[in-house]
């Protein structure tokens, strides 16, 4: 029973959805286990571009069970828009299931986030503005509203909302937001109920049943964000509010760690980041602009321009360690076409101590006196986007792949040379990942 986690191994937007889409054809189940509509996952197929936020991108295949797991958070208004937009494009939502345990983003969460970012001013995180942080804060603070709560008897739901409102008013006093009114919230919940009704399920039991009864079925996890945005392992506080690393996959789906058969880290052949926070290999020069323009590096969710830089092997190695990566999907190699040389960061030189850091430090200030140490590989000029077999790639591309494998310490199983499903090259040695997983799982 192959269970493959496809997770972001940098700062998000690595092209996870593209890889999920390439694998999903062979899958039975595709699960999102954390995050919410802060995610922006793009799939390009036959000239059509689809942008997913809450919904698993496996929905493009009509016969796959697509799950939003217990660890996800849902913004009802954005969810409604996304469902309508997909339905209007002929995407079937028949196979979508939402965990009854998923948490809801309420209007006051959006207001809290706006207040926090405003107060932080120049030091703000640069969030996606979707209420993700406050929703997870209330979940952990035991003040959340779960999908299943909507279906409680009215008196029970009302008592729960009263409890929440009491605490919020104690914090925010007279400045409390107008949405902190129990009747208003009850009315909102009444509109949410029919919205979620067709989809709500005990997704944990559903997946366990499939794992037990359909031993050959491939289960895919569609990660959101990336390791450096993980609330525990990322560049805190410039992170999101969930565990984007492998632990979050299990916690947010109810699938025990022992069930995982392969963890694939998705990386760009360079690096991008949206929002604020450290980025040691950032390029604030013509090459940075070249990558941003050629790679169309604009955030799917916020429309913000992504910051660009060279591939960071320290981040890659750290990601491999924290996630136990079995393989790498290396995306956007085509974007590097035309550069005379390409750099890969292999470590950080710390001027203050004279030492080289090869592990990502917890204290962000430790990065301040660091500069990246690069190894340089030759670029290539020929168009690689029409190549359909890994073996046919120019020697310089293969050299870059080899350098990245060496510095991260994990093999590259997939190389991507364009946004479309067909622009995905499986390595000769691996063939198709699901096949390798089936072999690994015996």
- Name the residues annotated as catalytic: 13, 41
Residue with Cβ nearer ligand GDP (148 or 287): 287
Report d(CA 413, CA 407) in Å as an integer: 15
Per CB under 6 A, the segment of 22-30, 98-106, 123-131, 182-190 that binds ligand IMO is 123-131
Report d(CA 373, CA 321) in Å as an integer: 20
Contacts of residue 326, defined as CB under 8 A and 6 or more positions apart, other chains included, come to 262, 263, 264, 410
Task: Mark 272-301 with x for binding to ligand IMO (rule: CB under 6 A) and - for no binding.
Answer: --xx------------------------x-
- The answer to whether residues 433 and 23 touch, using CB atoms and an 8 Å cutoff, is yes
Q: Which of 58, 69, 76, 133 binds ligand IMO (CB under 6 A)?
A: 133
Strand 27-32 relative to strand 65-68: parallel, antiparallel, unpaired? parallel
Q: Could you tell me how many residues make up the chain?
A: 442
Report d(CA 416, CA 332) in Å as an integer: 6
Q: Does 335 bind ligand GDP (CB under 6 A)?
A: yes
Sign of dihedral through CA atoms 396, 397, 401, 404?
positive
Report, in Å, the least distance between residue 227 CB and ligand IMO.
11
Give how far the C-alpha of residue 97 lies from the chain's centroid of Cα atoms, to the nearest Å.
19
Q: Does 41 bind ligand IMO (CB under 6 A)?
A: yes
Scanning residues 227 to 256, which ones bind ligand IMO (CB under 6 A)? 229, 240-241
Q: Does 113 bind ligand GDP (CB under 6 A)?
A: no
Q: Does 41 bind ligand GDP (CB under 6 A)?
A: yes
- The answer to whether residues 225 and 8 touch, using CB atoms and an 8 Å cutoff, is yes
Q: Does 230 bind ligand GDP (CB under 6 A)?
A: no
Q: Does 307 bind ligand GDP (CB under 6 A)?
A: no
Q: Does 42 bind ligand GDP (CB under 6 A)?
A: yes
Contacts of residue 437, defined as CB under 8 A and 6 or more positions apart, other chains included, come to 2, 3, 4, 218, 261, 262
H or E stretch covering 220: strand 218-222
Q: Please provide the distance, in angstroms rounded to a whole number, between the alpha carbons at the two ends of the chain.
A: 9
Per CB under 6 A, the segment of 129-137, 261-269, 328-336, 408-416 that binds ligand IMO is 129-137
Q: Does 15 bind ligand GDP (CB under 6 A)?
A: yes
Report d(CA 199, CA 393) in Å as an integer: 44
* 252 binding partner (options ligand GDP, ligand IMO, Mg ion, none; Cβ < 5 to 8 Å by kind): none
Q: Which of 2, 35, 36, 40 binds ligand GDP (CB under 6 A)?
A: 40
Scanning residues 390 to 419, which ones bind ligand GDP (CB under 6 A)? 416-419
Contacts of residue 287, defined as CB under 8 A and 6 or more positions apart, other chains included, come to 339
Report, in Å, the least distance between residue 60 CB and ligand IMO.
17
Give the footprint of ligand IMO on this chain (CB under 6 A): 8, 12-13, 38-41, 125-128, 130, 132-133, 224-226, 229, 240-241, 274-275, 300
Give the footprint of ligand GDP on this chain (CB under 6 A): 8, 12-18, 40-42, 44, 300, 331-332, 334-335, 416-419
């Amino acid at each position: 029973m192959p269970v493959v986690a496809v997770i972001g191994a940098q700062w998000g937007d690595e092209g996870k959805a593209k890889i999920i889409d390439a694998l999903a054809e062979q899958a039975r189940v595709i699960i999102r286990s954390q995050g919410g509509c802060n995610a922006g996952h793009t799939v390009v197929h036959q000239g059509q571009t689809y942008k997913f936020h809450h919904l698993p991108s496996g929905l493009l295949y009509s016969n796959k069970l697509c799950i939003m797991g217990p660890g996800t958070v849902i913004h009802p208004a954005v969810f409604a828009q996304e469902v309508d937009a997909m339905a209007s494009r002929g995407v079937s939502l028949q196979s979508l299931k939402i965990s009854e345990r998923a948490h809801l983003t309420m209007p006051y969460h959006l207001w809290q986030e706006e207040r926090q970012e405003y107060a932080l001013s120049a030091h703000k995180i640069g969030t996606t503005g979707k209420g993700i942080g406050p929703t997870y804060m209330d979940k952990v603070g035991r003040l959340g509203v779960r999908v299943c709560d909507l279906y409680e008897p009215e008196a029970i739901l009302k008592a729960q909302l009263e409890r929440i409102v009491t605490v919020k008013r104690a914090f925010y006093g007279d400045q409390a937001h107008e949405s902190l009114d129990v009747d208003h919230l009850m009315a909102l919940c009444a509109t949410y109920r029919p919205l979620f009704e067709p989809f709500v399920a005990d997704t944990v039991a559903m997946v366990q049943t499939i794992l037990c009864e359909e031993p050959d079925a491939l289960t895919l996890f569609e990660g959101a964000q990336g390791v450096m945005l993980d609330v525990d392992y990322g560049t805190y506080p410039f992170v999101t509010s969930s565990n984007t690393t492998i632990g979050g996959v299990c916690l947010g789906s109810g699938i025990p760690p022992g069930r995982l058969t392969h963890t694939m880290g998705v990386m760009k052949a360079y690096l991008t980041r949206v929002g604020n926070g450290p980025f040691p290999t950032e390029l604030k020069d013509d090459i940075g602009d070249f990558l941003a323009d050629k790679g169309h590096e604009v955030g799917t969710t916020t429309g913000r321009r992504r910051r660009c830089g060279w591939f960071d092997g320290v981040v890659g190695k750290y990601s491999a360690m924290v996630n136990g990566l079995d393989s790498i999907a290396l995306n956007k190699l085509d974007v590097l076409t035309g550069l005379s040389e390409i750099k890969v960061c292999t470590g950080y030189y710390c001027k203050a101590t004279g030492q080289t850091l090869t592990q990502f430090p917890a204290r962000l200030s430790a990065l301040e006196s660091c500069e990246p140490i690069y190894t340089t590989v030759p670029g290539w000029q020929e168009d690689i986007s029409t190549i359909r077999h890994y073996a046919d790639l120019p020697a310089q591309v293969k050299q870059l792949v080899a350098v990245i494998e060496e510095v991260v310490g994990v093999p590259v199983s997939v190389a991507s040379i364009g946004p479309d499903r067909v622009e995905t090259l499986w390595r000769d040695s691996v063939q198709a990942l699901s096949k390798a997983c089936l072999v690994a799982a015996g």
